Amino acid sequence: MTRLPVADRRTVRRALRDMISRHRRAVGIVLALHSAAAVVGLAPPWLLGTIVDEVTAGAGVATVDRLALAIAGCVLLSAVLSRYAQYAGHRFGERAVAELREEFVSRTLGLPVSVVERAGSGDLATRSSVDVATVGTTVRDVVPTIVIAVVQLTLLFGAVFLLHPLLGLAALAGLPSIVAVTRWYLRRATPAYLTEGAASAELTETLTTTAEGARTVEALWLTDDRIRHGTAHITRVWSARRATLALRTVFFSVVEASYPLPVALVLLVGGYLFSRDIVSLGAVVAAALYLQQAIEPMDRLLQWTEQAQRGLASYARVLGVGMVPPEPPGRTATSQGERLVVRGARFSYSGGPDVLHGIDLEVQPGERLAVVGPSGAGKSTLARLLAGIDAPRQGVVSIGGCPVTDLDPAERRRRIALVTQEHHVFIGSVRDNLSFAAPDASDEQMRSALVSVGADWFAGLPDDLDTQLGDGARQLGAAEAQQLALARLVLADPHTLILDEATAALDPTTARRTERALAAVLAGRTVIAIAHRLNTAHDADRVAVLADGRITEIGSHDELVAAGGAYAALWRSWHTHADER
């Protein structure tokens, strides 16, 4: 497996810079508004300091009233400013996240299938769900929180500096230990929290699957096994939680122990300055209160840095998908005719041993060829070569004289369709599930396509073509999903069809009926059917027997039966009949 790439630090930084410069105006407005809100938010402690000074100086009730009213005014103004700041930030976040996820999906859709398969579809699935969501949360929630906290802290410390530079210096007393322990914590936190998350997800899965497979648990006496398995997961969750708790223990105790240091130092330095009449008592009180006030944004900042770090890691993985070169456009758009020719094709999966050893095959337009053979003989690999998903390591696969991999991908898919036993039903309506194969198809055409593949269940759907399919809606069984895939194929109407066990999920009788109906609809098309049921072979014009990556027998059904080779033996055991013995 070759994993999908992950963007390096430089790429991530450049992408971030690009994003910010694209939204330069929005970022500027957000910062300006937050700063204004925070500046106004600083006023109340300062005003309280003024009250202290005024009262000490013997001011009257009127002064106090005025100042208290000013405090209330500041609170209101700060709230209004921060509301607009937050809203602007929110809009920026939404826009950026939307751009990001759309870009991701369009990149994903452009990935060559072979790259995704080599990386394992799990990797891409994680990136599309977990990583895109993590980046989304980071941009929408974490970044604003951090921006606000940083702006507030900068202003609070700045204000203390303004009161007196020496007080400002004293205020920084707690920072070294906080910075040191944060660095220590961040280095360890992300892997530890990811382990914790994975462990608890596994535990949930263990409970759910135990319930799902309850009958199997009883049938095969798996009770003790399930308990042992689950207990192991519980232990794992417990120790993962202990590990993160240990990290937090160190982190929180150092951070919290650092909080009183600046307050204490400011009071001492302030006392010295006050005794020399360099600063007023009110200034010292205000400085102490500012620092007390700084604890809350500091806490917020520290709590969210770990999230931000995780967001960056996810961002690197999201960007990584864009680093895969997209499927190359074909060199030629057209070819002469539809004759499919395979010459000396050899193939191996990423440097492994050869799976196909020199295949030679010619398929005439309109011919039906069945490919049979034991599992692992290379049938599906041959199908992929014919469909142009993989290129042979040696030799050539061509259609109308042009190598299939040289065709433009969209053109290739229009002409050669591959349907496998993998039957994916997309979230959406029946129409959504059909229309992408033939965007111009009318509703009537869709209905007859479904009828033609024997999808009788369609008549019972509540909303006709608009019936929603997938999780939480109508769930299609394997057989129904397969018929849907075949109907899609009928609509796409390609010249050449490759059916890789395309009816395996249907019961034998339905499969047979569906295949025949399909054959009637697709008369005149080239059909290459890979099958494990021999009656498919019986219906074909020619049969190719594939064993160990070689074509060992090829000819019509009757010829092969007459030849008395492996195929004939198999046919006889499959189709034991009194007359034939």
Partner 1 sequence: MRYLWWLIRCQPWRVLRGSLLGTTWMIGLSARPYLIARAVDDGLRARDTRALAFWVAAIIVAGLALSYVGTMRHRTMTFIREDAKARTAEVLLRHLSRIGAALPRRIGAGEVATVGGSDINWTAEVLTLTGPGVGAIIAYAVIAVVLWSISPLLALCVLVGVPVVGLVVGPLLRRLERAESVYRQQQGALTARSGDIVAGLRVLAGVGGRDLFARRYAARSQDLRAEGYRVGAVNSWIDAASVAIPGLFLAAVVWLTARMAVTGDVTIGELVAVYGYVATLIVPVWFLLEGSYQLIRGRVAAQRIADLINVSPDDVGGPGRRWPGPVPDARRPGALDAPAGPADLHDPVTGLTVRAGQLTGVAADDPAAGVALADRLGRYVVSGTTWGGVPLTGVALDEVRSRIVVADHDSYLFAGTLRDILRPTGGDAGGDEHDRIRAALRVASAEDVVDALPAGLDTPIDARARALSGGQRQRVRLARALRTEPEVLILIDPTSAVDAHTEARIAERLHAARAGRTTVVITTSPLLLGRADLVAHLSAGRITSTGTHEGMLDYEPGYRRLVARGSEDPDIERPADTEEAYR
Q: Which of residues 81-140 bind partner 1 (CB under 8 A)?
A: 82-84, 86-87, 90-91, 93-95, 97-98, 101-102, 104-106, 108-111, 113, 116-117, 121, 124-125, 128-129, 132-133, 136, 140
Q: Which of residues 488-507 bind partner 1 (CB under 8 A)?
A: 488-490, 492, 504-505, 507
Regarding 275 and contact with partner 1 (CB under 8 A), the answer is: yes
DSSP code for 37? H
Nearer to partner 1, 9 or 215 (CB): 215
Contact between 289 and 44 under an 8 Å Cβ cutoff? The reply is no
User: For residues 140 and 346, which CB has a smaller minimum distance to partner 1 in the complex?
Assistant: 140
Strand arrangement of the beta sheet that strand 394-399 belongs to:
354-363, 340-348, 394-399, 402-403
Instruction: Tell me the C-alpha distance between 450 and 434, whole Å.
Output: 10
The correct pick among 389, 402, 404, 479 for binding partner 1 (CB under 8 A) is 389
| 206 vs 280: CA distance, rounded Å | 65
Q: Is 380 left (phi over 0), alpha (psi -120 to 50) or beta?
A: alpha
Residue 225 binds partner 1 (CB under 8 A): yes
Residues that bind partner 1 (rule: CB under 8 A) add up to a total of 174
d(CA 314, CA 131): 5
Measured in whole angstroms, the distance separating CA 66 from the mean position of its chain's CA atoms is 57
CB of 344 to partner 1, least distance (A): 25
Least separation in angstroms between CB 366 and partner 1: 15
> Under a CB-based contact definition with an 8 Å cutoff, are residues 416 and 404 in contact?
yes
461 binds partner 1 (CB under 8 A): no
Tell the burial category of 177 from Cβ atoms under 10 Å away from its Cβ (0-12, 13-18, 19+).
Answer: middle
Residue placing its CB nearer to partner 1 in the complex, 91 or 346:
91
Q: Which of 36, 71, 150, 465 binds partner 1 (CB under 8 A)?
A: 71
In whole angstroms, what is the distance from residue 507 CA to residue 485 CA?
A: 16
Per the structure block, which two tokens stand in for 520? 């009637």
DSSP 350: T
Nearer to partner 1, 300 or 343 (CB): 300
Q: Which is nearer to partner 1, 331 or 426 (CB)?
A: 426
Nearer to partner 1, 10 or 219 (CB): 219
Residues near 246 by beta carbon (within 8 Å), at least 6 away in sequence: none
Nearer to partner 1, 109 or 462 (CB): 109
The total number of residues written for the chain in this structure = 581
Site string for partner 1, 282-321 (x = CB under 8 A): --xx--xx--x-----------------------------
Residue matched to tokens 């223990």: 249
Between 8 and 278, CB nearer to partner 1? 278
Strands 550-555 and 496-500: unpaired
- Distance CA(376)–CA(2), nearest Å, equals 22
Instruction: Note whether 392 and 345 are within 8 A (CB).
Output: yes
Choosing from 28, 328, 329, 374, the residue that interacts with partner 1 (CB under 8 A) is: 374
Q: Can you tell me the distance from the alpha carbon of 193 to that of 419, in angstroms, rounded to the nearest whole number?
A: 41
Strands of the sheet with 368-372, listed across from one edge = 416-419, 496-500, 526-530, 368-372, 542-547, 550-555
Residues 241-270, interacting with partner 1 (CB under 8 A): 241-242, 245, 248-249, 252-253, 255-257, 259-261, 263-264, 267-268, 270
Establish if 38 lies at the interface with partner 1 (CB under 8 A).
Answer: no
Q: Among residues 60, 325, 351, 460, which is the contact residue for partner 1, using CB under 8 A? A: 60
Quick one: tokens of 246? 């240990």
**Cα-Cα end-to-end distance for the chain:** 50
- Tell the residue number behind the tokens 């937090």, with chain if given: 248
For position 24 contacting partner 1 by CB under 8 A, the verdict is no
Among 19, 55, 172, 465, binds partner 1 (CB under 8 A): 55
Report the nearest approach of partner 1 to the CB of residue 112 (Å). Answer: 8
In the complex, the smallest distance separating the C-beta of residue 466 from partner 1, rounded to whole angstroms, is 15
16, 220, 278, 333: residue in contact with partner 1 (rule CB under 8 A):
220
Instruction: Spell out the residues 6+ positions from residue 329 whose beta carbon is closer than 8 angstroms to its own.
Output: 408, 409
Q: Which stretch binds partner 1 (CB under 8 A): 278-286, 301-309, 331-339, 357-365?
A: 278-286
Q: Is 29 in the site for partner 1 (CB under 8 A)?
A: no
- Subset of 509-548 contacting partner 1 (CB under 8 A): 509, 512-513, 516-517, 520-521, 523, 532-535, 538
Q: Does 456 bind partner 1 (CB under 8 A)?
A: no
Here's the x/- map for partner 1, 406-445, by CB under 8 A: it reads as ----x--xx--xxxxxxxx-xx----x--xxx-x-----x
